[in-house]
Chain A
Amino acid sequence: MLKLFESIGEYVLLMQKVFSRPEKMAIYRRRIMHEMEALGLNSIGLTAIISVFIGCAVTLQMAITLESPFIPKFMIGYATREVMILEFSSTVVALILAGKVGSNIASEIGTMRITEQIDALEIMGVNSASYLILPKIVATVFFFPFLAIFSMLIGISGGYGIAELTGIMNPVEYIDGLRYCFYPDEITYALTKMVFFAFFITSISAYCGYYAKGNSLEVGKASTKAVVISSIVIMICNLVLTQIIRT
């Protein structure tokens, strides 16, 4: 328990170092563009694949579960939309990104730590925490909401596709369902969540890597730890934000 508080303290101090004044803006801009590509653009494929499959599966599941003369068919489209926007495209996508991006960040920074690259930066007088971590945080906080929007679109299209393909319901009714009781606030809510998730995934993973010590075994452990802790924090954060924003 004491160790937990110690770690939280260490994490807060690290974040203070990360958000202290950057060395030179031009260099940061270049690094942010690079990280957007490495952490954001490169995650589009994975996001697309899981979103389309989940979109299809949710639509099928809803069609089977809601098989009743008392429930209008368009409810299937409606339910798919709600599931995708409210939970899947933000929370579940964030969990998957925690696995991909989080482990990537932790092992990259951890390797830099054990091969003394971080020491080398410090010797030059560079604020290594800010130089390495800030561009990653800015890049993911900016880019992940786009991944969430992308996931919603792909997932919902997947549902439409499967309706068309299997004839399990009339695609026109699916579209009606998508339009039913739609509040744009739901999207704002999902994107707000994603901004928080992006920050936590990146900063926690960077923290795990930054304080890795020893050898490659430790880097492996740091990267596992990054994924586990980010995932737990995402779940807790999801509950808290839902409580705050939705009620």
Chain B
Amino acid sequence: MIKAQNIVKSFEGRTVLKDISVEFGTGQTNLIIGRSGSGKTVLLKSLVGLHEVDEGSIFYDDVCFSTLDFRARKAIRKHVGMIFQGGALLDASTVEENVKLPLDLFTEQSEEEKRERVNLCLKRVNMEHAHHLYPSELSGGMVKRAAIARAIVMNPRYLFCDEPNSGLDPQTSIVIDNLISDITKEYNITTIINTHDMNSVMEIGEKIVFIYEGEKWWEGSKDDILHADNRELADFVFASAMAKRAKAAVK
């Protein structure tokens, strides 16, 4: 479980997150949705501590993360995996080296054990044949899958994903979404995903939080989202022409 209490974050006098309180449950895919620029990435990065919040606190299960020092945070980070918007694989390393890095740095496993673990993770994301490719040689979908493999290699308890399917075609997007959702169930992870993609919402959303201009505007399940009585949310949900037509047809 991850919980944020009244968090506020500003950059150079501009408040980007306005008093957000929200709770994300374990073993479910939590979605943060909102328009581009609404503050999703800032919220996600505040939750993992890449941005320091100005006010409020963040809890990882029962530990208050926001008051910990560097050392104590490092202990928690062993249980955190994150998938960045662009993948953020290290350019100078192969896929295998990228996935193996956390094991190299933080475990005492033998080369054999590490290789086995890396193979397992790469297999889980269907990347068995890409061990020795460099990030520049991968397609967009492969970059995301390699990033997922790296994020799960340490068996995380918390998984953060920033727009995991941005820049992907609709089919690949669904594959990535389902992959994340399946892994969440398999390992009982607390997963938080940022997205502006309504397909993801309908496909894998369990808990959904709608952010509007830095404020938490609405939260609920995907069944409620179509009927929510909230103009900004409806604008977002029914932004595409097809969705509008579908809604009109239902009426």
On whether A125 and B48 interact (CB within 8 A), knowing A116-B88, A119-B88, the answer reads no
Number of interchain pairs (Cβ within 8 Å): 53
Contact yes or no, B50 A123, CB < 8 A: yes
Contacts of A126 in B (CB 8 A): 105
CA gap between A110 and B215 in the complex, in Å: 32
Chain B interface residues toward A at CB < 8 A: 45, 48, 50, 73-75, 77-78, 80-82, 84-86, 88-91, 101-102, 104-106, 150, 154
Q: How far is the CB of B156 from chain A (nearest CB, A)?
A: 10
Contacts of A49 in B (CB 8 A): none
21 A–B contacts from the bound complex (CB under 8 Å): A23-B105, A27-B105, A112-B91, A115-B86, A115-B91, A116-B84, A116-B86, A119-B88, A120-B84, A120-B89, A121-B90, A123-B48, A123-B50, A123-B80, A123-B81, A124-B77, A124-B105, A124-B154, A125-B75, A125-B78, A125-B106
**Is A122 in the interface zone, CB < 8 Å from B?**
yes
CA gap between A124 and B83 in the complex, in Å: 11
Q: When the two chains form the complex, which single residue of A115, A117, A123 contacts B77, counting CB atoms closer than 8 Å?
A: A123
Query: B102 — nearest CB in chain A belongs to which residue?
Result: A124
Interface centre among A27, A116, A121, by most chain B C-beta atoms within 10 angstroms, is: A116
Contact yes or no, B106 A116, CB < 8 A: no
Q: How far is the CB of A113 from chain B (nearest CB, A)?
A: 11
**Is A3 in the interface zone, CB < 8 Å from B?**
no
Contacts of A120 in B (CB 8 A): 82, 84, 88-90, 150
Q: How far is the CB of A110 from chain B (nearest CB, A)?
A: 12
CA gap between A126 and B101 in the complex, in Å: 10
User: Which bracket fits the contact residues of A?
Assistant: 10 to 19
CA gap between A126 and B81 in the complex, in Å: 13
Interface centre among A115, A117, A125, by most chain B C-beta atoms within 10 angstroms, is: A125
Contacts of A27 in B (CB 8 A): 104-105
Contact yes or no, B89 A117, CB < 8 A: yes
CA gap between A83 and B81 in the complex, in Å: 56
List 4 A-B pairs, minimum CB-CB distance, nearest first: A125-B77, A120-B88, A116-B88, A125-B74
Interface residues of A in 8-62 (CB under 8 A from B): 23-24, 27
Contacts of B89 in A (CB 8 A): 117, 120
CA gap between A116 and B81 in the complex, in Å: 14
Interface residues of A in 92-137 (CB under 8 A from B): 111-112, 115-117, 119-126
Q: How far is the CB of B118 from chain A (nearest CB, A)?
A: 15
Contacts of B48 in A (CB 8 A): 123
Contacts of A117 in B (CB 8 A): 88-91
Interface residues of A in 52-79 (CB under 8 A from B): none
CA gap between A53 and B121 in the complex, in Å: 55
Contact yes or no, B82 A123, CB < 8 A: yes
CA gap between A66 and B73 in the complex, in Å: 68
Q: When the two chains form the complex, which single residue of A24, A112, A115 contacts B104, counting CB atoms closer than 8 Å?
A: A24
Q: When the two chains form the complex, which single residue of A111, A119, A124 contacts B50, counting CB atoms closer than 8 Å?
A: A119
Contacts of A115 in B (CB 8 A): 86, 88, 91
CA gap between A126 and B106 in the complex, in Å: 9
Contact yes or no, B105 A119, CB < 8 A: no
CA gap between A27 and B100 in the complex, in Å: 12
Contact yes or no, B105 A116, CB < 8 A: no
CA gap between A123 and B85 in the complex, in Å: 14
Query: B106 — nearest CB in chain A belongs to which residue?
Result: A125
Contacts of B90 in A (CB 8 A): 112, 117, 120-121
Contacts of B85 in A (CB 8 A): 116
